């Protein structure tokens, strides 16, 4: 498996270094034969090449089996004419990574405000209110006058059907329960299409229990009793907000793995941002990036029917849980280690598991 590794901005190089250590460890342990292709995007690429994402890099990514994207300084990139492309948006849009898979679960040893839970948010990733990816040309936000702006929300039946199918297929591997989240009482046409498409796909999965909630009520239900949910599927912006909430309910957004997947490509990407205020201080939690890498390995293994990749993903997830439970992690999740030491603890845990 060839994985392009882009460290990103801010804390990205630190968390990516840990992720690389972990990937190399499981590659040896499970004989995966990983080849990690290191390159740059974001600020480093802008300085070196005049663009945050180059055509050569895009070609390299298209020819690889997966991409690990470090956090990017998205707010710094405002003018594409000057090469300031949002790398996360670029790869999601141009690789058609339509499914953003965001697991959230509680961990022993991490204090939370809720009882135990284990759920997954499946978020549509290519349209909705996201102005930078819902038009073939131009932008989905329009400035009519200096005081009047309009934002266009694109919802298509085909995109709704494929994200729904991703959610139902995932539910079949779990507790066979899918929750549809929408705002149909207000967005009657667009969320009407979303609900119709999801319910049509649901008929292909009669074993799966289906319910639905209006998005604002859903936020309250998730905070009150997250354990009642299994797989949650929703549109782009609702999923973005809801998945950050569920990750934080698990104890820290630093525990939120994230995979952006399409039919032919996938990108592991930590759920958090570049956090420039703590960059270079050995404080950043690398676990979100590590868990995202595990998801990328599992996606590849399922796609290629290679059981060793699923086993490696499971080993990484178990090592993360063990380290967190024992306090061998960063301070935000109850430990007392720095970024590098957390990576060393993870690798040590992987080696101990293989010895047993």
Question: In the 8-state DSSP scheme, what is residue 72?
Answer: -
CA 104 vs. chain centroid, Å, equals 11
Q: What's the farthest any 2 CA atoms get from each other in the chain?
A: 67
CA atoms of 119 and 234, how far apart (whole Å) = 14
C-alpha 172/C-alpha 26 separation (Å) is 27
Tell me the sheet residues that pair with 259.
Answer: 101, 268
DSSP state of 99: E
Catalytic residue set: 130, 183, 216, 240, 244
The strand ranges marked E within the chain are: 2-6, 35-38, 66-69, 99-105, 118-124, 141-145, 148-151, 177-182, 209-214, 231-234, 259-261, 266-269
- End-to-end CA, the chain: 26
Which residues 6+ apart lie within 8 Å of 220 measured at CB? none
β-partners of residue 102 are 121
Specify the DSSP element, H or E, that contains 158.
helix 157-172
Strands 99-105 and 209-214, sheet pairing: unpaired
Classify each residue of 229-250 as buried b or exposed e, where b means 16 or more C-beta atoms within 10 Å of its C-beta: bbbbbbbbbbbbebbbbbbbbb
């Amino acid at each position: 498996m060839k994985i392009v590794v882009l460290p990103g901005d801010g804390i990205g190089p630190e968390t990516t270094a840990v992720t690389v250590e972990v990937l190399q460890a499981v590659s040896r342990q499970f004989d995966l034969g990983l080849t990690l292709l290191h390159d740059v995007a974001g600020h480093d690429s802008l300085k070196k090449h005049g663009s945050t994402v180059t055509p050569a890099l895009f070609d390299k990514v298209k020819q690889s089996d997966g991409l690990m994207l470090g956090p990017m300084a998205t707010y710094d990139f405002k003018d594409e004419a000057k090469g300031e492309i949002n790398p996360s948006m670029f790869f999601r849009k141009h690789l058609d990574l339509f499914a953003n898979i965001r697991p959230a679960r509680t961990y022993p040893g991490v204090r939370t405000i809720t009882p135990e839970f284990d759920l997954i948010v499946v978020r549509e990733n290519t349209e909705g209110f996201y102005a930078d990816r819902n038009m073939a040309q131009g932008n989905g936000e329009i400035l009519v006058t200096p005081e009047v702006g309009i934002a266009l929300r694109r919802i298509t039946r085909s995109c709704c059907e494929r994200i729904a199918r991703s959610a139902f297929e995932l539910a079949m591997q779990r507790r066979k329960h899918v929750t549809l989240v929408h705002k149909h009482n207000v967005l009657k046409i667009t969320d009407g299409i979303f609900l119709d498409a999801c319910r049509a796909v649901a008929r292909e999965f009669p074993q799966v229990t289906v319910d639905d909630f209006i998005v604002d009520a859903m936020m309250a239900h998730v905070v009150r009793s997250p354990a009642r949910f299994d797989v949650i599927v929703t549109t782009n912006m609702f999923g973005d907000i809801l998945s950050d909430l569920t990750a934080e309910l698990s104890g820290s957004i630093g525990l939120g793995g994230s995979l952006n997947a399409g039919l032919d490509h996938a990108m592991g990407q930590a759920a958090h941002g570049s956090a420039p205020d703590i960059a270079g201080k050995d404080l950043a939690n690398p676990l979100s990036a590590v868990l995202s890498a595990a998801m990328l390995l599992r996606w590849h293994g399922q796609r290629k029917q290679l059981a060793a990749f699923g086993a490696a993903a499971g080993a990484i997830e178990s090592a993360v849980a063990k380290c967190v439970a024992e306090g061998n992690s960063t301070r935000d999740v109850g430990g007392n280690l720095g970024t590098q030491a957390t990576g060393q603890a993870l690798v040590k845990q992987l080696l101990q598991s293989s010895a047993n």
